[in-house]
Amino acid sequence: MQINLLREGRYKQRFLPHKFILVMKITTFILLACFMQVTAKVTAQISISERNVPISSVLARIQQQSGYNLFYEDTKIKDVKINVNFNNIPLIEALERVLKNQALAYELVDKTIVIKTKEPSLLDKAGVILNSVQDLFQRIDVSGTVYDEKGLPLPGATVKVKGLRTSVVTDKDGKFYLPGVDDKAMLVVSYVGYADEEVAAKAEVSVSLEQKSDELQEVVVAYGKQEQRAITGAVTVVKKEQIESSPYLSVDKSLQTVVPGLLVTQGTGQPGGGTGNFVLRGISTGGSVLNGATPRNPLFVIDGVPVQQDPAQATTSQVAFSNPMAQLNPADIESVSVLKDASAIALYGSKASNGVILVTTKRGKAGMTTVNLRHQTDIAGRLAGTMKPLNQQQYMELLFETYKNTDAVRWTDAAIIADLAAKFPHKNDASGIVAFYDTPDWIGELYNKNAVTSINNLSFSGGSEKSNFYLNLEYANQNGIEKKSGYDRKSIRFNYENKPSEWFRIGLNTTLSYNVQNYGGGLGEESAARISPLNAIRDSNGDYIYHYTWGMSNSESTEPTGMGTLSANPVVAANLDIHKNISYRGLSNLIAEIKFLRNFSFATNLGVNFMLTETKDKHHPALAWSSYPVGSGSFIGNDLRTANLISTNSLRYGISREKHHMDLMLAHEAQVLSSDFKFIQIKDFGNNPLLEDPRYQAGTVESAYGQTQKQTLLSYFGQANYAYLNRYFLTGSIRTDGSSLFGDNKRFGTHWSAGTAWLVSSEQFFKSFVGTLNYLKLRGSIGSAGNSSAIDFNGRYDVLVLGNYAGQPTVSPNDLAPGNPDIQWEKTFSWNLGVELRLFKDRLSITGDFYRKKTNELIASVGLPLGTGFRELRDNIGTLENKGIELTVAFDLIRTKKFGWNLNSIWSTNKNVLLNSYLPLERSVFSSRQIANGIGKNYNSFYMPTWAGVNPDNGKPQWLDKDGRTTSKYSEAKEDFVGKPQPDGFGSLVNTLRYRSFELSATLYYQYAFKIYNQNASALLNDGVQPYINQGTGALDRWQKPGDIASNPRRLLFGRDGTTSDDSTRPSTRYLFDGDFLRLSNVLLTYTFERELISRFHLNGLRLFVQGNNLKTWTKYKGNDPENASSEGMGRSLYPLSRSFSFGMNVNF
């Protein structure tokens, strides 16, 4: 009786605690999350790995490790030798396995293990009787191991008894144990990404699963998943391995080299900063990119929730300092699907015509809990550009020449020295003669040589057949190469899914992050390049010089006798000023799904995207800034809150009948996008350098304003997928979107798509080719998608400004843009043809896509004729076309067990043309003035006079006039389209070598056939227009005397000869350069430890890597860095990119 009780206890311990332990685990992880305290040994875990050991010694080890007492009678045990390989398994399981083939049983009594002779229970006895009656019902206990195709154990695989509900999941050693299985039963072993395998039940089984070939892999697509082979559209899938060691904090930057058709230009090197270009298959909207706005970007959808990318903070540098994508931890990403053509994107409304990037975050896998620790340390330094500043001697040489060219009589050496002494800090030497300070090391003072970044992720994941979870804690700290700049992110993600029954599933994906960005004002590089080498950082006492009156600012007087402009020493400013963005980000969605009536399912998804960014921008009162004199100071507090809600409800119907397979979906989606913005500027606050927020103090409010916005979107859509013989595929979709941004009549836009694919290689007639060409798929799609992101919430209204006249209230139209009630959706119509083929047993795979997209009703801000009373209007102005080719070639040159060599090449080309527009030539008011749009030209092209060199006779600048002759009068120079900022093509080449456990890969990235207007060059090659700021070494090649062939004109003080200006630095192709570049963007060496080697340290996986980023650049660009450019191709001294070296490790246990 007692035995029976004990045996019941044993069963309890085996089955009931399963849930209990899981609950315990989750509780533990929540506790971990809350307190970050690791608690050792929640339950007794046993690890023994030995061969040919007597049972008695195994039991002894178990006793030792568990801390339990052990009690048994020696005589009862046949001390046979067994093999054991226990790796952190629960005590109970260990005992089960040891005693498996013994006539022994165990009991746990308090803290004691009692081993006894097995006595059949009543049930067993009954079973024996039954078994003896009928052998068919003989039951066996099955234990086994599941391996992957490389022969490594596969944890988390599901083992199911065919036809029954019984199933278990393999542990982290790939092992499973299924007791009491009918010995005639079949076991089905399955695992995500692997083909199912069936085996007959027996006491010991070993199952090897084969990975599904690519075409059978499931890919995340719009509102669901599909097998790769059934996809009719152009979709690029990026796996986490392709981006996980990237040194960038945001996923957008990490996608640069891996997605054909996606043009990414890094833009700024500011940690957590925005991109220059982030455009998929060419510009397909006329939305303004002013202040780093992102209407051209593809739509990011993370776990079903669209996320904004517009910067939280307006910026004047054209590339945003702040990038909301940097608030989301890339380490949480499981996969990224980039949807490019109509068939894939027609299902997303408001911003889909730019393409859609679907991000899926990690999920726990059924099986044992895995703990993963990932660490990466980067050491970064400034990536020096091609422009070098003059040293003091060269600077003086040019300056003296400038003076003398202007007026040799007035400007004697003594007069020049006296003038410079009045303008620049200096000391007198012993004899009282003016002596200037040595050239300071501006670069050294403004930049960190070794800026350290540390990225740490600790994740816990696991689950069972019923539920799974993934919990990740992250701390990333990036120090910028500009002093006092950096990014610091703490994030947590918790993804949980539960399936209480076969027909119901509920899940929550949520992440929270806290981000602090120091952006250092963004002027470091520009200051360093321009500042006169006469301006010393410190005086002879070693004290900082706080201000300079000349030789720094770009708004200096244009008279030598003028006052100059008081500009702060950037080193002092870096120490005293505060430029900080603090962001709180939350992204969460709840999914519930029910299945009913066999073929139906209904899913609801409720998502929230929340961001609060608080900007604190303080210019210290000790320093003059802009129009604020010393003593005033300026503090700008700038809070932006955005909260977007999305609710999606979908009804699906799926049916399979032998050769036919069909899925239908009907759905409804509603979104509310709201934002609230508050701005305050204060001056005259205290001098305390630590004061981060003087709003509490009694400063003077200089200005204060705010704005609330709200937009609603409502959509209905449907999708149908049909497959015949798994060889012919058809898809179709239709979607209607309404947006509150549009007037009543233009509110809704309807879009549709159709796609088809043919798996040629599955045809009978193709069988003879399969030896060489083992896979061939042709696909095509057509359809349209809409875009409302190019207009803002005021779009259809005339904004009035309040006033007062003669004591009476007045309202008047504002001066910018009139409302446009008739504005309607941008519509992008596209078609895509694709071919996928694989040859020589998958050794060579080629994917090619050809596409054409036409954007009708292009929305753009166009300059109006001023007789309208307004300067610009946002309107549907015309039609834009993009067409291009994308090609991906992957080649396994060598593929042996020991050695591998793989080449992977991506190449994309895109041609963009403005087909028609109601304005033949349009220059937006707000864009860079060097950019214009013309029919038949690339949308956004450079438009300026053509530089015709320097006149050798008189050193004057020359341009081409309307007849193609040279002229030295800028007013006669003819403006023309002279190039474009978007490259013709770009791509990457990744070379991967594998030797045993080592893997070495090198990534080359290139862009070609585009131009960059170097805005900074007009200052750094200014011919004396701004005589006192420093020049690039290129300025040395200047005209000095008649007959000189020089690239730069004569130097004149303020560019003036008497009262006439040479105008040599006015915009022209003089400062327009080819931007083509080739960059060795990444070299990565990884070492993955053999499992056997590390298992004794209780590790499941260990990977170490070292990498270098931006190691070498070859470019035609004469400027800082070809990627330091805005999406309009304006090259400036933005925050430089960095070259970095990383070390990292990834541990699983």
Measured from the CB atom, the residue of 558 and 905 that comes closer to other proteins is: 558
Query: In this chain, which of 130, 704, 725, 801 binds other proteins, going by CB under 8 A?
Result: 801
Task: Give yes or no for residue 863 binding other proteins (CB under 8 A).
Answer: yes
Tokens of 264: 């990414």
Measured from the CB atom, the residue of 381 and 813 that comes closer to other proteins is: 813
Task: Give yes or no for residue 15 binding other proteins (CB under 8 A).
Answer: no
Measured from the CB atom, the residue of 539 and 815 that comes closer to other proteins is: 815
**Stretch of residues binding other proteins (CB under 8 A), selected from 66-74, 477-485, 922-930, 1024-1032:** 922-930
Q: Are 114 and 152 in contact (CB under 8 A)?
A: no
Binding mask 1039-1078 for other proteins (x = CB under 8 A): --------------------x-------------------
Query: In this chain, which of 709, 772, 954, 1040 binds other proteins, going by CB under 8 A?
Result: 709
Q: Which residue reads 């000095």 in tokens?
A: 1040
CB count within 10 Å of CB 296 equals 23
Measured from the CB atom, the residue of 542 and 807 that comes closer to other proteins is: 807
**Stretch of residues binding other proteins (CB under 8 A), selected from 302-310, 344-352, 809-817, 1029-1037:** 809-817
HSE-up of 709 (CA within 13 Å, CB side)?
18
H helices within 177-248, ranges in order? 240-243
Q: Are 424 and 458 in contact (CB under 8 A)?
A: no
The residues in 718-757 that bind other proteins, with binding defined as CB under 8 A, are 738-740, 747
180's CB contacts (< 8 A; 6+ apart) are: 139, 140, 141
CB 301 → other proteins: shortest distance, Å?
Answer: 19
Q: How far apart, in whole angstroms, are the C-alpha atoms of residue 139 and residue 130?
A: 11
CB 164 → other proteins: shortest distance, Å?
Answer: 34
CB count within 10 Å of CB 812 equals 10
Q: Are 608 and 588 in contact (CB under 8 A)?
A: yes
Task: Give yes or no for residue 433 binding other proteins (CB under 8 A).
Answer: no
Q: How far apart, in whole angstroms, are the C-alpha atoms of residue 669 and residue 645?
A: 10
Task: Give yes or no for residue 608 binding other proteins (CB under 8 A).
Answer: no
Q: How far apart, in whole angstroms, are the C-alpha atoms of residue 361 and residue 491?
A: 14
Q: How far apart, in whole angstroms, are the C-alpha atoms of residue 1004 and residue 1082?
A: 7
**Stretch of residues binding other proteins (CB under 8 A), selected from 285-293, 789-797, 838-846, 1141-1149:** 789-797
Size of the site for other proteins (CB under 8 A): 62
Query: In this chain, which of 181, 251, 289, 873 binds other proteins, going by CB under 8 A?
Result: 873
Measured between alpha carbons, how far is residue 207 from residues 98, 175, 812 in Å?
A: 22, 10, 79
**Stretch of residues binding other proteins (CB under 8 A), selected from 66-74, 95-103, 180-188, 790-798:** 790-798
Task: Give yes or no for residue 798 binding other proteins (CB under 8 A).
Answer: yes
Q: How far apart, in whole angstroms, are the C-alpha atoms of residue 440 and residue 906?
A: 45
Measured from the CB atom, the residue of 336 and 1053 that comes closer to other proteins is: 1053
**Stretch of residues binding other proteins (CB under 8 A), selected from 114-122, 489-497, 683-691, 818-826:** 818-826
Measured from the CB atom, the residue of 610 and 677 that comes closer to other proteins is: 677
Closest Cα partner for 858 from 792, 909, 788?
788
Task: Give yes or no for residue 707 binding other proteins (CB under 8 A).
Answer: yes
**Stretch of residues binding other proteins (CB under 8 A), selected from 100-108, 445-453, 862-870, 933-941:** 862-870
CB 919 → other proteins: shortest distance, Å?
Answer: 5
Measured from the CB atom, the residue of 772 and 868 that comes closer to other proteins is: 868
DSSP per residue, 584-634: EEEEEEEEEEEEETTTEEEEEEEEEEEEEEEEEEEE-TTS-BTTBPTTT-E
Task: Give yes or no for residue 919 binding other proteins (CB under 8 A).
Answer: yes
The residues in 588-607 that bind other proteins, with binding defined as CB under 8 A, are 602, 604
Measured from the CB atom, the residue of 652 and 779 that comes closer to other proteins is: 652
Q: What is the DSSP-derived secondary structure letter of residue 1051?
A: -
Q: Which residue reads 């449907």 in tokens?
A: 718
CB 550 → other proteins: shortest distance, Å?
Answer: 18
Task: Give yes or no for residue 373 binding other proteins (CB under 8 A).
Answer: no
Task: Give yes or no for residue 516 binding other proteins (CB under 8 A).
Answer: no
User: By three-state DSSP, how is residue 145 classified?
Assistant: strand
CB 822 → other proteins: shortest distance, Å?
Answer: 9
Query: In this chain, which of 52, 316, 501, 804 binds other proteins, going by CB under 8 A?
Result: 804
The H or E element that residue 336 is part of is strand 333-339
Task: Give yes or no for residue 710 binding other proteins (CB under 8 A).
Answer: yes
Query: In this chain, which of 63, 394, 498, 649 binds other proteins, going by CB under 8 A?
Result: 649
Strand partners, 753: 733, 783
Binding mask 628-647 for other proteins (x = CB under 8 A): -------------------x
Closest Cα partner for 252 from 182, 317, 310?
310
Measured from the CB atom, the residue of 807 and 1043 that comes closer to other proteins is: 807
Measured from the CB atom, the residue of 739 and 847 that comes closer to other proteins is: 739
The 3-class SS string of 229-253 reads HHCCCCEEEEEHHHHCCCCCCCHHH
Task: Give yes or no for residue 714 binding other proteins (CB under 8 A).
Answer: yes
DSSP per residue, 1115-1133: E---SS-TTSB-TT-EE--
Q: How far apart, in whole angstroms, are the C-alpha atoms of residue 260 and residue 238?
A: 11
Tokens of 338: 């980039």
Q: Which residue reads 């015309």 in tokens?
A: 878
Q: What is the DSSP-derived secondary structure letter of residue 259?
A: S
Query: In this structure, what are the phi and psi dihedrals at residue 342, rounded to the nearest 5 degrees?
Result: -55, -40
Task: Give yes or no for residue 936 binding other proteins (CB under 8 A).
Answer: no
Q: Are 912 and 982 in contact (CB under 8 A)?
A: yes
Residues that bind other proteins (CB under 8 A): 558-559, 602, 604, 647, 649, 668, 670, 707-714, 738-740, 747, 793-794, 796-813, 815, 818-819, 821, 863-871, 873, 919-923, 925, 971, 1059
